[in-house]
Amino acid sequence: MGNPFDKLEQIFKTTFKNINFKNIHGVKIASNNKTQITNNIFIINPKSLPPEIQGKLQDTMKEFYEEKVELLKEDTSKQLADYTSKIATPENQTVIEFFKSRLSQEDMVLLQSCLYLRTVFNNDGDYAVLKSQIVERYHGRGASVSNLCTAGYFESLIIPMFQELERNGSLPNEVFRAIYDDIVVNYPFAVFINQRMNSDEVEAMIMKKIEANKKNGTPRLNIHGIGERNIEVILKILTEIEKKSKIARKKIDQSGKVIIVKLEFEPE
Amino acid sequence: MFSVTFDNDQESKLFILQSIGKEIDDEEYVIDSETKERVLLPNGEELLFNDFAGVKKGSEIFIKSDIISLVEYVNKYR
Long-range contact set of residues A38-44: C-beta below 8 Å, sequence gap at least 24: A42/A8
CA atoms within 13 A on the CB side of A117: 30
The rounded distance, in Å, linking the Cα atoms of A58 and B12 is 11
Best mutation target among B9, B19, B76 (most A Cβ atoms within 10 Å) is: B19
Nearest to A77 by CA among B41, B58, B17, B63: B63
Q: Does A113 touch chain B (CB under 8 A)?
A: yes
* Percentage above 90 pLDDT, chain A: 68
> Quick check: A72 and B4 CB within 8 A?
yes
Q: For residue B12, which residues of chain A lie inside 8 Å, CB to CB? A: 29-32, 46
Indicate the pLDDT class of residue A12, thresholds 50, 70 and 90: confident
Its pTM stands at 0.86
pLDDT of residue A2: 60
Give the C-alpha distances (Å, rounded to integers) separating A170 from A149, A166, A176, A187, A201: 23, 5, 9, 22, 40
**pLDDT above 80 for A267:** no
Tell me how close the Cα of A97 comes to any Cα of chain B, in angstroms: 14
**pLDDT above 90 for A68:** no
Q: For residue A28, which residues of chain B lie inside 8 Å, CB to CB? A: 4-7
Q: How many residues does chain A have?
A: 268
Choice among A1-5, A45-49, A60-64, A129-133 with the minimum mean pLDDT = A1-5
> Quick check: B75 and A109 CB within 8 A?
yes
pLDDT of residue A144: 94
Question: For helices A173-186 and A127-150, what crossing angle results, to 10°?
Answer: 110
The rounded distance, in Å, linking the Cα atoms of A163 and A170 is 9
**pLDDT above 90 for A154:** yes
Q: Does B20 touch chain A (CB under 8 A)?
A: yes
Contact B64, B41 (CB under 8 A): yes
pLDDT of residue A100: 96
Tell me how close the Cα of B26 comes to any Cα of chain A, in angstroms: 23
Q: Tens digit of pLDDT for each residue in A203-213?
A: 999 999 999 88
Choice among A111-125, A238-252, B3-17, B50-64 with the minimum mean pLDDT = A238-252
Q: Does B21 touch chain A (CB under 8 A)?
A: yes
What's the ipTM?
Answer: 0.95
Q: For residue A33, which residues of chain B lie inside 8 Å, CB to CB? A: 7
Cα angle value B71/A174/A141 (rounded, 5°): 45
> Quick check: A27 and B4 CB within 8 A?
yes
What number is the average pLDDT over the span A192-202? Answer: 90
pLDDT of residue A191: 92
Indicate the pLDDT class of residue A224, thresholds 50, 70 and 90: very high
Chain A 2-31, CB below 8 Å of chain B: which residues? Answer: 4, 25-31
Cα angle value A107/A185/A135 (rounded, 5°): 60
Q: What is the full DSSP assignment across A50-74?
A: -HHHHHHHHHHHHHHHHTT--EEEH
Indicate the pLDDT class of residue A1, thresholds 50, 70 and 90: low
Q: Does B58 touch chain A (CB under 8 A)?
A: yes
**pLDDT above 80 for B41:** yes
